Amino acid sequence: MNSITAAAGDVPAVFTLGDSFVDTGNNNYVVTIAKSNFPPYGRDFPGETPTGRFSNGRLIPDFLGIRYLSSVTDLI
């Protein structure tokens, strides 16, 4: 059986590749009648603000990335 060894150090980014569990989409800039920029979408997001994502709040990648949020906002 293989063992997994954790390496110490900073993680520069978190890339998430996957299916609908990690990509809820955002079509705010697409001409369509299928929109999600109104309640109840976003009800579990800070401020209960709909974001245009087909989700009621944050997903697993959002929770994983929160640890690295300060490094991302430093770039903006």
pLDDT of residue 62: 76
Q: Indicate the pTM of the whole model.
A: 0.47
pLDDT of residue 73: 54
For 61, how many CA atoms within 13 A lie in the half-sphere containing its CB? 12
pLDDT-based confidence at residue 11 (cuts at 50, 70, 90): low
Say which residue, 64 or 70, is predicted with more confidence: 64
Q: How far apart are CA 30 and CA 49, in angstroms?
A: 20
Q: How far apart are CA 53 and CA 34, in angstroms?
A: 11
